[in-house]
Amino acid sequence: MGISGRTAKFFLTSQLTPLIALIAILLGLFAVMVTPREEEPQINVTMANVFIPFPGASAKDVESLVAMPAEQVLSQISGVEHVYSVSKPGMAVLTIQYKVGEDRIQALVRLYDAIQSHRDWVSPNLGVGEAIIKPVGIDDVPIVTLTLWASDAAQGAFEMQHIAHAMESELKRVPGTREVLTIGGPNHVVRVVMDPERMNSFNVSAQDIRDALQVSNASQPSGSLVSQNKELLVQTGTFLESANDVKQLVVGVFENRPVFMTDVAQVIDGPDQPSRYIWIGTGPAAAKKGISQQGEFPAVTLSVSKKPGENAVDVADHVLKRVAELKGTVIPDGVNVTETRNYGVTANDKAKKLIQKLIFATSAVVLLVLFALGKREALIVGTAVLLTLAATLFASWAWGFTLNRVSLFALIFSIGILVDDAIVVVENIHRRRALDSGTLAEIIPNAVDEVGGPTILATFTVIAALLPMAFVSGLMGPYMSPIPINASIGMVISLAIAFIVTPWLALKLLGKHKHAHAEGENSKLYEFFSARLTPFLNREKGSAKRKQLLFGILIAIVLAIFLVVFKLVIMKMLPFDNKSEFQVVVDMPVGTPLEQTAGVLQEMGAYLATVPEVTDYEVYAGTASPISFNGLVRQYYLRSGGELGDIQVNLTDKHERKRKSHEISQAVRPQLEKIANAHGARVKVVEVPPGPPVMSPIVAEIYGPDYQGQIGVAGKVKAVFAGTKDIVAIDDTVEENSEKFVLTVQQNKAALLGVAQKDIVAVMKMGLSGEDVTPVHSGFSKYEIPVRIKLAAERQSSMEELLKLTVRARDGALVPLSELVKAVPTEREKSIYHKDLLPVVYVVGDMAGKLDSPLYGMFDIRTKTLGMNLSEGGKLGEYFIKQPEDPYSQFSIKWDGEWQVTYETFRDMGIAYAVGLILIYLLVVAQFKSYLVPLVIMAPIPLTIIGVMPGHALLGSQFTATSMIGMIALAGIIVRNSILLVDFINLQVAEGMPFQEAVIRSGATRAKPIILTGLAAMLGAFFILDDPIFNGLAISLIFGILVSTLLTLVVIPVLYYALMYRRYEKVG
């Protein structure tokens, strides 16, 4: 008796068996209670932005003196995957992206160490500022955002910001919260608005005002004074505590009288001059969200992120409860707080729905066994599945997985294969009870032992097929890793349960139930298989029949592949999910004023307010909306400037609308593009990606000998994008031409008057952008309230007014800037982009239309760019996987975006598939001691494609990465059937049955467990068929198992006969 039979015999009457079952249940309950719930798997992606200021430098100087040396240093850091840089006038922004899975703390320590140890990469006299490091990661993505607004016109964004700041401290006290930030609203400042005419009349310069503020806002302890036996502390000076203190400052002396600040400037305490606008708008479905008002209202948004490892559901619930408690105190009456993001709710809803599906899938499998074998057998299988799931949930928690859509789908997907071991064991006990005359205690170990060997082998073949997928690289690897890991752990647990608990349950539940001797129970099945198989086993005509069967199968495989070739099955990385949000990203021409950008966004908002499914939308002009995982990778959080804006659009719950979010976003795109085109803007409708995000679905990276040439080539490639059908959201990283003024100092005149150029630069900056000179120490504000010197807004728009500002000459006279500088109009410099130490220009786009897969759009574009003759010289080179090794020899294009992720994912999955097949082959060789038999056993694997591809075509679904996961899983599942058939043939021949008879009887005897396990796997997959992401996995399993199982029952016996009959004849 083998190990399976001995194990069953030991635990059959052991007192440990019920305890093992009880422990499994308790561990499962513990796991359900403590495992954090999230909507998506938390992928450890560590990124950091390094900002290096170089005031006044051109983009070219920033590139050569700062960005390139910094890139070389940062690229040396261990674990870094990519280094990106943008060189702008006066600033270098570098982005370091580490490999997925790199420990965040260690990665950042190495980054800080590299920067600090190379601080001498530039001369201290060059004027380059200190590097500012801003790490970002998945934990920076807020799980809750709350938008504060009021319908009362007296309560604007400034008032909302004060309330939000007060809420920050309260929400930070909520356990599990990480960062609480307010987005929007004009900051509180004390503005000193200079009046150049009055300043001239009182002989006061901008420098005098600045100096007066700096020297008058000083206080510090001077020591202690001992007097009358007491020690008294002495503090000298006072801080500026209010705008009134600023007003009373003396800024100079004129005609022996003090000149006060109010004599030469207007001091205003209140909101800053707007640099961003945020407002909320309501849609037709606003009432479903509890919003009764209609229109657009000034707003601010409060974002709350959570600490790593915390339960998103609990943190979000506690935040919302705290907000409810603050109403009427910190949050005044009349102020509305609208949930504009709540990943806790979506995570909880998704978890509840998937747990419900898990229960339904389990129940369906139990019902299947009930109808096939009986109620007692169904109870045994149901208990085995319950114990397996409970123990697997605990193992999943111990591994570090959260309860998210992928880990739960992994369990639902696994139901069909986790139940296989129990079904095979129970079915064989059921069969042997009908055939044997011994007691049940004698029958069970033998029945388990009979199928134990092939069951162990079959279990490990499924694990061999699935487990290599856990080593897929890139973002997709950790995203999908719960599937191979949870399924593999579950398979091991199900095997243990099948040999330990299932026999014990069978003895307890079946022992009291008398069995009938039913010899010949399989006679009908035997007749059926005899009629079907005998023609193929005929000595004279069987060979021709077998060749016809083989030819028919090959034709079916070829036809299935042609479904992909003729685009009847569309290939895509992942399909879009049905979310309740999307984003509209708008780029106006460089130099567009904030107010004009806001006007365009308002026009778009007015259109979105007519879309039936929209509940509300939040407009962010001049600043970025709260960061999302997609925005994290695309770096939307860095978007800041008057010409930039985006709109966060929220929809009704997916159960309350007919259209999916993808259909809605596709429908609104043409009208939004029409509005954008009318104003010279670029607009992108950005959906929540179904998997790992990329810079854009279609990305063309342009490399070449010189940057201007790259810009020219990018323009040609962009034109090809525009001329290709269904390509939308076309953009590039080439900024539009725009003008700037350079104020050239007349050095000779400035020198004669004793005016330094730096003083002229400082005064001009004070007048135009303002200078925060010193803070007001009010004692009531959480954030600094700066005192800012500047000109009035109406004066800032006129060069003539700006040049009225004065500087003090050597003799004390005031000299207008108009006498010292000359304004020279010139072209604004464009930013220079680098990727991995090479200059690059990006051209991006998206795919719409019927195919809706960026891969097809990319290859359509490629047909037009391939070998393109360039006016810049030569032909356009092309690269798919890596950057050109010699980028300076010719202009070239390297394809990126979804193509890169798709290539890497399918490459790694293909490798995993191949490794799985090799492992399966080795396992089968070890079991059957033959090199040829495993080839027969693995023969049905190609048959899966006959079901998979037509299944996708029939249901109109795309073949995605999850479809590929289904195909890989099928390899292990289908091989299980082959093993059961071949093992049975060998057992029967060993007992003396003629070979041909054993071949026919293998189909008749093993058909029931094979069909049962196949139906169980199909039923498990059926419950994930309606999910947009995992629909491909379900289709692969359902149709792949259906077709390959039916064919296996014929093909394996026939193939095994063809291979082995001569050998058995000789033995006979």
Q: Is residue 178 part of a domain?
A: no
Tens-place pLDDT, residues 151-179 = 888 888 999 999 999 999 999 999 999 99
Q: Within 10 Å of residue 667's Cβ, how many Cβ atoms?
A: 13
C-alpha to C-alpha distance for 50 and 80, rounded to whole angstroms:
14
Residues 958, 1062, single domain; the answer is yes
Pair (382, 502) in one structural domain: yes
For the chain, how many structural domains are there in total?
4
Mean pLDDT of the chain: 89
Give the pLDDT score at 522.
58
Name the residue among 998, 983, 952, 981 with its Cα closest to residue 1045: 981
CATH of the domain at 769: 3.30.2090.10
- Which residue, of 779, 801, 827, is where some domain finishes? 827
Residue whose tokens read 């590139």: 63
For range 342-356, the mean pLDDT: 86
Residues 552 and 479 in one domain: no
Q: Are residues 57 and 76 in the same domain?
A: yes
Strand partners, 616: 282, 650
**Is the predicted pLDDT of residue 517 greater than 70, yes or no?**
no
CATH number, position 433: 1.20.1640.10
Same domain for 506 and 535, yes or no, is no
Mark whether 16 and 86 lie in a shared domain.
no
Distance CA(306)–CA(317), nearest Å, equals: 12
306: β partners: 177
What letter represents residue 708's amino acid?
Q
Q: Residue 242: inside a domain, yes or no? A: yes
Say yes or no: 981 and 1016 in one domain: yes
Q: What is the mean pLDDT of residues 646-652?
A: 95
In a domain, 645, yes or no: no
Asked if the structure places residue 68 within a domain, the reply is yes
* Residue at 341 is within a domain: no
Nearest-angstrom CA–CA distance, 413 and 973:
12
- pLDDT at 781 (0 to 100): 81
959 and 1016 housed in the same domain: yes
506 and 544 together in one domain: no
Identify whether residues 71 and 21 lie together within a single domain. Answer: no
CA atoms in the 13 A half-sphere facing the CB of 285: 19
- Residues of the chain above pLDDT 70, percent: 98
The pLDDT tens digits of the residues spanning 392-410 come to: 999 999 998 888 888 888 8
Is residue 719 assigned to a domain?
A: no
Whether residue 382 lies inside any domain: the answer is yes
Task: Check residue 450 and give its pLDDT.
Answer: 86
Q: 629 with 575: CB under 8 angstroms?
A: no
Long-range pairs for 1036-1039: beta carbons < 8 A, 24 or more residues apart = 1036/944, 1036/948, 1036/951, 1036/962, 1036/963, 1036/964, 1036/965, 1036/966, 1036/967, 1036/969, 1036/970, 1037/413, 1037/416, 1037/966, 1037/969, 1037/970, 1037/973, 1038/951, 1039/947, 1039/948, 1039/950, 1039/951, 1039/952, 1039/954
pLDDT: which is higher, 1001 or 1066:
1001
Contact predicate 615/651, CB 8 Å? yes
Q: What would the two tokens of residue 792 be? A: 């009035």
Q: How far, CA to CA in Å, does 582 sit from each of 197, 283, 616, 851?
A: 51, 14, 11, 21
Q: Structure pTM?
A: 0.86
* CATH code for the domain in which residue 90 is found: 3.30.70.1430
Same domain, 461 and 395: yes
Same domain, 784 and 803: yes
Domain boundary among 827, 844, 872: 827
Residue 52 pairs in a beta bridge with: 92
The continuous run of DSSP H or E covering 92 comes out as strand 91-98
Q: Which ranges in 638-788 belong to alpha helices (H)?
A: 661-678, 707-722, 747-753, 757-768
Tell me the pLDDT tens digit for each residue of 989-1048: 888 888 888 888 888 888 888 888 888 888 888 888 888 888 999 999 999 999 988 888
Host H or E run for residue 190: strand 188-194
Q: Is residue 846 part of a domain?
A: no
Domain extent for 50:
46-136
What's the rounded Cα separation, in Å, for the pair 867 and 870? 9
Looking at 827, 855, 870, the residue that finishes a domain is: 827
Q: Is the pLDDT of residue 516 over 60?
A: no
Element (H or E) spanning 16, and its range? helix 16-34
